[in-house]
Chains A and B, each alone.
Chain A
Amino acid sequence: MALSSRQSRRDVLKLTAYSTAGALFAPSIARAQTKSLTMMHESSFVPPYDAFFKNKLATAYEKAKGIKVNYEVVSVGSLLTRVTTAAENSSGPDMTAIGFNWAFLFDDKFLDVTDIAAEIGKESGGWYESAQESVVVNGKWKAIPFGNIGQLMNWRTDWFKQAGYEKFPDTWDELLEAGIKLKKAGHPFGFELGHGFGDNHGWLYPLLWSYGAREVEPDGKTIVIDSDETARAVDYCRRLYKETMLEDCLGWTDVNNNKAFLSEQISCTNNAESILWAAKKDFPDMAKVIDQSENPKGPKGRFHMLNPLCHSIFTHTKDQKAAKDFLRWLMAPPQAGPWLDIAVTYYQPFLHAYDDAPMWKVEPRNLPYRDALKTSHLPGWPAPLSRAQSESVAKFVVVDMFAKACAGKSTKDVIADAAAQLKQIYRA
């Protein structure tokens, strides 16, 4: 190395020292860069839930394993769009929360996590059967179920009592009877019949099933919506709408029933735990007279909607093992337990170890959400996961079948419409 006149020996020494230091530190910096993971989640209705991940879980993991975990929150309703973008471009977050049948839709883009699912199940008392309905694709687990955001009956105990009901009606027919009385007393029902994301499917699919009707047979091909059972469910729904509800329900999206319930416009609706949660926070007096119950029984039983929150790992993640290790760690009781606790059963765990967890005692009125897990299914059930299932939901086939009947169309016509649509969707 030729020294120019301006460079002194000291300069050379300094330079050497810096390069040595740089060479020493560089690998550790590079390692830190690959060892950061990002988890994408939809903004939770329970804000402490998101905060707990960011402040407690991520910090603990970084301390224990030296891997920084970022928590990326997207707005409600936009998660599917974001997952689609990440999957299509094979870039973005390493892990994501998913729902419904996305494990099937993004099958090629999600990592097989069967091994850690088995470990987690063994560790925490075994999985609920309904957990597998949405995440097992061709015999492989494509996501780790975290919790169900169940949809149940939310009702006002004070008004029901005035109408002569101490308990929530056990059958749909009894509910209709109660609704007629309550509407006369100035406390109508309000169930979403419009194009929302969840509160419409949340009660209309269970209603359909509880009358013994379904869209498709378990073979995923034979369309059976055109049945006497469907006709009875449709007729029932029309009566329930006309005789117990507000006219506005037909145009509702998911925010409307919460708003109507909390502003004392309605005495009963089908919703997640969010109404009671919000009432306890903002309307404590009202919260005392709210209760939650399982859906009523129909001639063929009692059903609920499966609305799972699960975690998947994108195949594009740089370090698949690191992501898997994190998910495994996350689902171990010391982590998953407190995370579930902070949301006080808003997410109902799919693991039996939590069946009698202390969080259920914090608010016993939430217990029906746990019990409903056994009778919960995805839209499209009993057919297996499919693209057609998504298309039927996106086209609101079942919701609109009921909504059209409520708006005045004949039962025969609305079922014929739905059957024609389903035949096209399932390419039957």
Chain B
Amino acid sequence: MTAVLAPALTRRRPPFSFGRWVEREGVFSWLMVALPVAFLVALVGYPFFYGIWISLQDRPVAKPGEFVGLDNFIRAWHDPVFRQVAVNTIFYTAAATLLKMVGGLGLALVMNQDFRFKNLTRALLLLPFIVPTVLSTIAWQWILDPAFSVVNWVLKAADIADPGPSWLGNPHLAMFSLIIVNVWRGLPFYAITLLAGLQTIPPDLYEAATIDGAGRWGRFRYVTLPLLMPIIFIVTMFSVIFTFADFQLIYVLTRGGPANATHVFATYAFDIAMGAGQFGQGAAIALSMVPPLALIILAMAIYMRAPKS
């Protein structure tokens, strides 16, 4: 009996072939996803959850941790510097992102025109984005030093002010200066991305709008802006995340001074974790960035998914 059935069975189910198994869609798609997922788990997931675990401990450097629940978060909440840091970060992010958005859109619109040396200009535009932040920031350090600043030099030469403003020494001006440097560095990212978006808008839409009697502003308001909206949102989302977690620029220029006027979450968390060797507290401060960021991203995602009328 079995002897008779055996050949029939093998005919119905061919011997296992690894190659064929891999080619099945269900298997293949999972295989393709597995690598990036493993990558994300190892480099993003693990540190993130480890960070949460550490933030719940009193964990001094080079010593074992002790579970303390939410104590680090409660301490941060009662720390006056932490509150100042929160306000600074939000102000810094809002102001810099807004300026980058408006400036980037303007720059993209200009770059979208036809003019001589268009490609060269576009390439040069990317420069602030390409130069390593630490290097360009050191250049800014000279620009913002009243004794060597070109701005102060001009003011002095024109007899307007001597020695001129203290860009990093005055608490308000320091925040303003950092925002300017951040905008300078971030503008190309906005401009180039929006320029790419602009170029995907079909010209016939503009022609149709012109025939319908739309002027320059009308074409921008009813054709360009709505079609560019999704890209503006994506870019803004990225920009908010980068600006919120900015570290290098501030660390090189002021390290959070004067008197914490420019301290943000990233610099404060670094000082507490690395300077003071308090990993638990540092992690708690760094993690405090997550809820506001998540809220912003969620709000933007909802806005983008909402059906447009």
- A residues adjacent to B (C-beta < 8 A): 80-81, 84, 87-88, 105-109, 193-196, 246-253, 255-256, 259-260, 263, 265, 387, 390-391, 393-396, 400, 403-404, 407, 417, 420-421, 424
Question: 16 A-B residue contacts at CB 8 Å?
Answer: A84-B277, A88-B61, A107-B62, A194-B168, A194-B257, A194-B258, A250-B170, A251-B170, A390-B275, A393-B275, A394-B272, A394-B275, A396-B257, A403-B258, A420-B80, A424-B78
* Interface-located stretch among B103-111, B119-127, B145-153: B145-153
Contact call B274/A81, Cβ cutoff below 8 A = yes
Contact call B258/A87, Cβ cutoff below 8 A = no
Contact call B258/A193, Cβ cutoff below 8 A = yes
Given known A391-B272, A395-B276, contact A253–B255 (CB-CB < 8 A): yes
How many whole Å from A158's CB to the nearest CB in chain B?
A: 19
Interface of B is mostly: loop
How many whole Å from B255's CB to the nearest CB in chain A?
A: 4
Residue on B nearest A200 in the bound complex, by CB: B257
Residue on B nearest A253 in the bound complex, by CB: B255
B174, CB-defined interface residue at 8 Å: yes
Contacts of A394 in B (CB 8 A): 271-272, 275-276
Contact call B272/A194, Cβ cutoff below 8 A = no
Interface string of B77-98 (1 = CB under 8 A from A): 0111100000000000000000
Contact call A84/B61, Cβ cutoff below 8 A = yes
Contacts of A391 in B (CB 8 A): 272, 276, 278
Partner of A248, one of B63, B168, B259, B276: B168
Interface string of B122-150 (1 = CB under 8 A from A): 00000000000000000001000111100
Contact call A387/B257, Cβ cutoff below 8 A = no
Chain B interface residue count, CB cutoff 8 Å, equals: 36
Residue on A nearest B172 in the bound complex, by CB: A407
CA distance A124 to B60 in the complex (A): 36
Contact call A251/B272, Cβ cutoff below 8 A = no
How many whole Å from B197's CB to the nearest CB in chain A?
A: 39
How many whole Å from B278's CB to the nearest CB in chain A?
A: 6
Closest 4 A/B residue pairs (Cβ): A394-B275, A251-B168, A195-B257, A194-B257
Contact call B275/A404, Cβ cutoff below 8 A = no
How many whole Å from B262's CB to the nearest CB in chain A?
A: 9
Contacts of A107 in B (CB 8 A): 62
Contacts of A196 in B (CB 8 A): 255
Contact call A105/B62, Cβ cutoff below 8 A = yes
CA distance A246 to B162 in the complex (A): 12
Given known A248-B169, A265-B147, A421-B79, contact A106–B62 (CB-CB < 8 A): yes
Contact call B278/A105, Cβ cutoff below 8 A = no
Contacts of B166 in A (CB 8 A): 246-248, 250-251
Contact call B278/A247, Cβ cutoff below 8 A = no
B193, CB-defined interface residue at 8 Å: no
Contacts of B275 in A (CB 8 A): 80, 390, 393-394
B118, CB-defined interface residue at 8 Å: no
CA distance A118 to B234 in the complex (A): 65
B188, CB-defined interface residue at 8 Å: no
Contacts of A256 in B (CB 8 A): 145
How many whole Å from B271's CB to the nearest CB in chain A?
A: 5
Contact call A263/B148, Cβ cutoff below 8 A = yes
Residue on A nearest B79 in the bound complex, by CB: A424
B260, CB-defined interface residue at 8 Å: yes
Partner of A253, one of B61, B62, B257, B278: B257
How many whole Å from B265's CB to the nearest CB in chain A?
A: 14
Contact call A390/B276, Cβ cutoff below 8 A = yes
Contact call B276/A387, Cβ cutoff below 8 A = yes
Number of A-B contacts (CB under 8 A): 121
Interface of A is mostly: helix
Contact call A407/B171, Cβ cutoff below 8 A = yes
CA distance A258 to B190 in the complex (A): 38
CA distance A193 to B254 in the complex (A): 11
How many whole Å from A223's CB to the nearest CB in chain B?
A: 15
Contact call A400/B277, Cβ cutoff below 8 A = no
Partner of A105, one of B75, B78, B277: B277
Contact call B258/A253, Cβ cutoff below 8 A = no
Contacts of B145 in A (CB 8 A): 248, 256, 259
How many whole Å from A38's CB to the nearest CB in chain B?
A: 19
Most buried by B among A87, A251, A417: A251
Contacts of A396 in B (CB 8 A): 256-257, 260
How many whole Å from A18's CB to the nearest CB in chain B?
A: 42
How many whole Å from A330's CB to the nearest CB in chain B?
A: 24
Given known A87-B62, A395-B272, contact A387–B258 (CB-CB < 8 A): no
CA distance A81 to B277 in the complex (A): 9
List 12 extra interface pairs beyond A256-B145, A404-B259, CB under 8 A: A84-B61, A87-B62, A194-B168, A194-B169, A195-B256, A246-B166, A246-B169, A248-B146, A251-B254, A251-B257, A252-B168, A255-B141
Residue on B nearest A265 in the bound complex, by CB: B147
Contact call A403/B148, Cβ cutoff below 8 A = no
Contacts of A87 in B (CB 8 A): 61-62
CA distance A390 to B272 in the complex (A): 9
Contact call B170/A109, Cβ cutoff below 8 A = no
How many whole Å from B194's CB to the nearest CB in chain A?
A: 34
Most buried by A among B163, B255, B256, B272: B255
Partner of A390, one of B169, B256, B277: B277
Contacts of A421 in B (CB 8 A): 79-81
CA distance A404 to B147 in the complex (A): 23
How many whole Å from B180's CB to the nearest CB in chain A?
A: 15
How many whole Å from B178's CB to the nearest CB in chain A?
A: 11
Given known A80-B275, A390-B277, contact A417–B80 (CB-CB < 8 A): yes
Contacts of A193 in B (CB 8 A): 257-258
Interface string of B284-302 (1 = CB under 8 A from A): 0000000000000000000
CA distance A104 to B141 in the complex (A): 35
Most buried by A among B60, B170, B275: B275
Contacts of B274 in A (CB 8 A): 80-81, 84
Residue on A nearest B258 in the bound complex, by CB: A250
CA distance A349 to B255 in the complex (A): 31
Contacts of A249 in B (CB 8 A): 169
CA distance A306 to B163 in the complex (A): 35
Contact call A424/B75, Cβ cutoff below 8 A = yes
CA distance A140 to B181 in the complex (A): 49
Contacts of B272 in A (CB 8 A): 391, 394-395
Partner of A252, one of B78, B81, B169, B277: B169
CA distance A263 to B185 in the complex (A): 29
Residue on A nearest B267 in the bound complex, by CB: A195
Contacts of B170 in A (CB 8 A): 247, 250-251
Contacts of B80 in A (CB 8 A): 417, 420-421
